[in-house]
Amino acid sequence: MAFPHLQQPSFLLATLKADSVNKPFAQRCQDLVKVIEDFPAKELHAIFPWLVESIFGSLDGVLVGWNLRCLQGRVSPVEYSIAMEFLDPSGPMMKLVYKLQAEDYSFDFPVSCLPGPVKASIQENVLPDSPLYHNKIQCPPTGGLGLNLALNPFEYYMFFFALSLISQKPMPMSLHVRTSDCAYFILVDRYLSWFLPTEGSVPPPLASSPGGSSPSPAPRTPAMPFASYGLHTSLLKRHISHQTSVNADPASHEIWRSETLLQVFVEMWLHHYSLEMYQKMQSPHAKESFTPTEEHVLVVRLLLKHLHAFANSLKPDQASPSTHSHATSPLEEFKRAAVPRFVQQKLYVFLQHCFGHWPLDASFRAVLEMWLSYLQPWRYAPEKQVQSSDSQPRCVSEKWAPFIQENLLMYTRLFVSFLNRALRTDLVSPKNALMVFRVAKVFAQPNLTEMIQKGEQLFLEPELIIPHRHHRLFTVTSSFLSPWPPVVTDASFKVKSHVYSLEGQDCKYTPMFGPEVRTLVLRLAQLITQAKQTAKSISDQCAESPASRSFLSWLGFGATDPNCCYPGNDLDEMGQDSVRKTDEYLEKALEYLRQIFRLSEAQLAQLTLALGNTRDENGKQQLPDCIVGEEGLILTPLGRYQIINGLRRFEIEYQGDLELQPIRSYEITSLVRALFRLSSAINRRFAGQMAALCSRNDFLGSFCRYHLTEPALSNRHLLSPVGRRQATSPARGPRLSLRFLGSYRTLLLLLMAFFVASLFCIGPLPCSLLLVLGYLLYAVAMTLLTERGKLHQL
């Protein structure tokens, strides 16, 4: 594809748009590489917004672009390799970004596409806390619609890249795509490794011309200042006044891309719930309707893991704040500030929302692992502790005490939130049992519990010992690029500052090792014990072959109780191996909880004894846990849990008119309805005669009552044991019922009887007479037995 160098930008854009429809993907990318190499920035400026949208899709989700979230190497290897090479941090697309960056171009980005809290803040004329938005707001032109951000090329590219994760429609359930194999996930990992390196420094921008390297400058202040729009800039005046001197410092060029990348990822992926609304309502869902997906959470977990590795890559002599000096490089300063200044607050509110609103199913595992990854920065430290020879968990070093104390709520408050979720889930399911096991195992690491307790003790210390109260706002008001505030050495103040900044000054803190949480833990231990017993019971009940059981039920001989195999869990899908896994997970989780909260063996034994077996001495299943009220039995929370998870149930029987009960699976629908119409006609025609026969006191009356009346309702089981004394049998006269002839079992038995009779040369008519005679003898015997039983009752 040859382009004259004097083509107009509009013509170049039109040509590329036409090629995007007519040419294959590989050829289009080759043409784009040539265009980026040959054309100057002035002409590339016109195609850049279109190219970014054609790759990442539109912000409203209508255009999917290259669909990087579904592009996999094993499915489409050619397209995958071409896309990854083109979008690589050292690839042609990033070269285009740096080429435009060198010329100080800016691009409009609509404020309406930003996360909810940021958009609301800007629309209310309040400057967002993040420096990412400072001096970028542009007033709409006369007659224009909406506010825009004036972004430099690197920011514009990263905004689209980050938002494509959440702006595009979720992948259909029928499309089984492993997130970690997709092009988007791998690109995130590459960008993080490139711009947030754990070794060395950030690579310089690519050469913009064959003649040599032309580094991309740090972004300059837009022509229209933020204050001209009438927004409140008091929170970050210090940052804005300091910006000129920072840009004049050549060392700041080393990290401005790194800082921008991190802020964009955090803002677009985590800042969907406002801290102010969370503090007021204790539920971020009060206003914001954003719902993260499992794919979204997995990408955020990748970000957190890399940030831990990035922050922990500081050399030992640089990691301590006490060694801070003016000779420290900006990258080292950024490593120390990345997690506490940019991530902690937004991640905490994001996790609180997920813990409170995520469905109670196995997909919560993604949120759980993201949380546990953040809680264990030592897993991503360069120095790996040697595993002990006896396979015991590694001891958490005291060097992580400051991190634990400054993230206390991440450990304690979210642990309580997880307990409340676990108490409402089906622990018989191996997937849910695994989640309880994972959390218990992490918190049971040696020395971690002691450091969490130490953090709670520091927070609960009297307020009088905290000095320099006026420094509390420095974590919000200062920018990364501004001079560092004085080091606060008081550990108690750091913990209190962390808690108050997230929960508010008047928050009510529930200690993780206090009596309230201990009660929740004991309830969980009781449910774990009960779930272990239930898993074994389910395994025993479902040991019978499903094929034979369904065949017997079809014939009417087997059990027709739909609750016999507890369809509420997935044990029947995995068999005995699933039961073994569930028992193993729950057993280890119980042991870890005992270690964390120092539960004695006597306490656990008492729980098991109080729980007892799920069946009574007669072999019948016990009723769900309930209390007796004025209207009958009232389920307790434990009783509701037992019913939801199939642990116990009421023995429910059909209590209405037996003729009108739903047609069963072992009955012929059309035949049952025809027999009902026939018997109804007979009952209407001979109602008087049947009533007269049944009222007689001789043997004929007893014989008719046996066939024409159904058992009284008072002699059958009722829904509630408490309400039996209130039940009254409805007045139903004698009637004939032919419904038994509509059963597959009855018809099969008749067919077998005729077949056996034919073997002895007995025709259909004599066989029918023999059957009627045999039934009459059976009916006479049953009538005599029934009457004798009534006499004994009197």
Q: Pull the structure tokens for residue 514.
A: 């206090």
Burial grade of 379 (CB within 10 A; 0-12, 13-18, 19 or more)? middle
pLDDT-derived band of residue 36, with 50, 70 and 90 as boundaries?
very high
Q: Nearest 5°: phi and psi at 667?
A: -120, 155
- Tell me what pLDDT residue 687 has: 85
* Two tokens, residue 338: 């990345």
CB 374, CB 410: distance < 8 Å: yes
Mean pLDDT of 71-91: 94
Q: How far apart are CA 308 and CA 445, in angstroms?
A: 19
User: What pLDDT, in 10s, does the model give residues 478-519?
Assistant: 344 444 443 344 788 888 888 888 888 888 889 999 999 999
Report pLDDT digits (tens) over 512-543. Answer: 999 999 999 999 998 898 888 877 777 666 55
pLDDT band at 649 (very low <50, low <70, confident <90, very high): confident
Closest residue by Cα to residue 645 from 538, 732, 555, 539: 538
Secondary structure element (H or E) that encloses residue 7, with its range? none
Round to whole Å and give the CA distance between 260 and 242: 17
The chain-wide mean pLDDT, for the chain, equals: 78
Looking at mean pLDDT, say which of 159-163, 383-387, 623-627, 694-698 comes out highest: 159-163
Number of C-beta neighbours around residue 460 at 10 A: 13
Residue 470 pLDDT > 70: no
Give the pLDDT of residue 319: 58
- 3-class DSSP assignment, residue 259: helix
Least confident of 299-303, 471-475, 719-723, 772-776: 471-475
CA–CA dist 420, 732 (Å, integer): 51
Residue 709 to residue 378: CA distance in whole angstroms: 77
Nearest residue to 302 (alpha-carbon basis) of 174, 184, 455: 184
**Rounded-to-integer distance, Cα 95 and Cα 88, Å:** 10
- Hunting for tokens 């050619």 — which residue is that? 78
Contact between residue 482 and residue 337 where contact means Cβ atoms under 8 Å apart: no
What are the tens digits of pLDDT across the range 689-699? 888 888 888 88
Q: pTM to 2 decimals? A: 0.72
Of residues 328 and 560, the one with the higher pLDDT is: 328
- Alpha-carbon span 763 to 588, nearest angstrom: 70
pLDDT tens column, 46-70: 999 999 999 999 998 888 899 999 9
